[in-house]
Structure 1
Amino acid sequence: MSTAKPIILTGDRTTGPLHLGHYVGSLRTRVELQHKAQQFLLLADTQAMTDNVGHHQKVTDNVVEVALDYLAAGIDPRLSTIFVQSQVPELAELTQYLLNLVTVSRLERNPTIKEEIRLRDFERDIPAGFLMYPVSQAADITAFKASMVPVGDDQLPMIEQTNELVRKFNSTVGDQILVECEAVLSAVTRLPGIDGKAKMSKSLNNAIHLGASADDIKKAVNRMYTDPNHLRVDDPGQVEGNVVFAFLDAFEPDATVLDDLKAHYRRGGLADSILKRRLNEHLQALLEPVRQRREQFAADRGEVMNILRQGTEKARLVASQTVYEVKAALGLNYFN
C-alpha cells in the first residue's frame, strides 16, 4: 500500500493582497492540508497579465504581497512549495500543447469565463489570453500531476475543463500521462462583499484584506450591509442576504450562540450594532496575529524572495519532468 502524500496545486492571481474571501474560500484549507499533502502554491502573475494590459506593474508588485499573505496566514515554506508562475516556462509550453485539444466555443461556454467576461464588460473584445486562461490553469494543475485542488465553488467549471483536457490528451496519445484532479471545497465556499454584492473582490473595493489594520477592520464591519428594512431595534430583521450574518456564519465559533442571535434578530429586539460589535471582535482576534506575522516577514523581503526562488527552482524540476513525458508521448523529443 502506497504511503505517498497526495499532490495539491493551488494559487492566486497577483492582482492585489489576499482578503477574507480567499481565507474562508481556500486559504484556510491550504494551511490545514500542507500537513497531509505535497502542496504547490502558485503565484499566478502570468495569468493576472491576461486582463491587466498596461497595468503590469501592479501585477508584478503584488507577487511579494501575496507571498507575504501566504506566509502570514500560516503557509510554511518547509511544507509547501511557493513559486512564481512566470518563472516556470514549462507551464507556458504545456499550455501550448493543451490548447490544441479545446475549441474556442468550448472555452466561451465555460461558466466561470462567461461570468468573468460579464464582470469586466469585455463583450466581444475579449483578450485571447484571458479567454484561454482555463487551459493555462489546466497546465498549472497537470504539470504537477495534482490530484487535489482547493477552490471556491465558482471555480468548479475550471476543474471540469481541466479533467476534460486530461482525458482528451491521454486518449490522443494512448497512454495515462496526465492525472485527473478533484476539487476540494471548504465548508464556507464564498463570502459576500461588505456592500452586499455577491462576491468579495479587490476590484470592487468591498473586501477586508488579511493585513488590514484594526481600524480598517472596524470601519469595514460598520459599513456592512444588513437588512434595509430593520429600521428600529424592535423591528423583525431578515437574516438571509444580511452580510453581517453571512460573516458570522463563517467566523462565529459557537453555533448555539449564532442560532440564538438569528432567532432574536428575526423576532426583533436585536440591534445591528450589537451584531457588528461581536463580528468585529471575532475578526480582530483572527487577523491581529496574521497582521503581526505579516509585518515580521515584510521586514526581510530579501528572505521572502529567497523562499520564492527556492520554491520556483523546485517547481521547475517537477514541471519539466511532466513536460518531458508529454513531449515524448507526442513524439516531440527528437534528440533524446
Structure 2
Amino acid sequence: MKKKRFNFQKMLEDLLYEILPVVGFAMVACTVFILIVMRKNTNDTLIFCLFFAIADLFSGIGTLIDGFYGVIVTIYGSTVETITPFDCLTRAVNIPIFLITDYLHLLLLAAYAVDRLIQIVFPVSYGKIYPYFLNWKLFIVLCFASAGLSVPGLAYPIESRFNTSIRVMSQCRFDEVVGEEFYLRHILTIQWGPIVCIGALSLNIILYCIRQSKHKWSYNWSEQTGTTKQLFGTIFIRCFLSCISLHVPLLLIARTTEGHELISIKDHIIRVSYWIVVIIFQPLWHILILSSFQANVFSLFNRYSENTERKWQSANDPPEDGPSHFDRHGSPNPFGSWYSMTGNVTGEAGVPVGNERSVSFYYQD
C-alpha cells in the first residue's frame, strides 16, 4: 500500500514538472502581451497594471526555471538523492525568485488599496500629487522591500550550509529549502494577504458610495467616475481570484483521502492554481473591465489595417485633376499618355477608359 502511494505521488510530481514549462511559457506570453498593450499608460493609475505584469513576468521566468530543473532531475538525476538546502539556492534559482515575487505581489495589492483610499478621501490633493509617487520609483522601492522581506526565508539554507546533517530532496521543493517554520508563516501570509486586501477595498467602496450619494461630496472628483469603477473592478477581481486559487487547493488537500499524499507537493499545487487562475487569465478580465485596455488591444491589432490610402505619387502618375491628354499641337488625343512610359495606361494600342492612372511596381534584387 505504501509503495502504491509512493508511486502515485511520484507520478503526480513528474506530471507537475512536465506541466510547469508550459505554464511558465503561458505566463511569460500573457505578461509580455499586457506590457505591450499597456506600455503607453505610464502617467496614470493604470501603471499598476504594468507593475503587476512585471511581477508576474518574473514569476513566469521562475516557473520556467523550476519546470526545466525538475524535468532534468527526474530524467537525468536520482529522485531519492539528497542535497543541502544551500545547494538548492545555487541549482534552483527559482526559490529566491518565488520568495521575492510572493511578497512583491502582496505589497502591490496593499499599495493599490492605499492609492484608492487616498483618491477617495482626498480627491483634489490626489490629482495634484499622485504623479510624484505613482511612478517607477515606487515600483523599485517595493522591489527592494520585497527582497528585504525575503531575507528570513534564505536564512535557513544559508545557516545550514556547513551542516551536513540537514538534507533535502534533490527536486529542491520550496517548503523544504526555506524550512518548515518559515514556510508556515509564509503560506499564511500569502493566504490571508488577498483577504485583507478585499477587506480594505470593501471599505474603500463603501466610502466611495457615500461620497457619490450627494453631489456636493463628489463634485471635486479628480478622475472620471468610469475610470474609478474600472480600477476598483480590476484590483478586486485580482484579490478575489488570488483567494480562490490559494484556498480551494488547500481545502481539497486537507479534506480528501489522498490529501496526505499531496502534502509534499502542495506548494506546487497551490502555485500552479494561482498561476493559471490569476496570471494566465489576467488579460481576459482586463479586456472585460478596462476600456483603455480594450482600446489599446484594438489599436495594436488594427495598426496596419487603417489608413491604407497611398500617400505617395509616382513620376508616371498623371495629375489627379488634370485635363484630358493633348498632343503636341494642342489638340485632344485619346491615344497614349504623356504621363505613362508605355504610352497608354491600358496598353500600347488600347484606348483610355477615363480617369486613367498608371501603376508603378518597385522591387529590389
For normalisation by structure 1, the TM-score amounts to 0.24
Larger Rg: 2
For normalisation by structure 2, the TM-score amounts to 0.22
* Greater fraction strand: 1
* Greater fraction helix: 2
Report 1 or 2 for greater relative contact order, CA contacts < 8 Å, sequence distance ≥ 6. Answer: 1
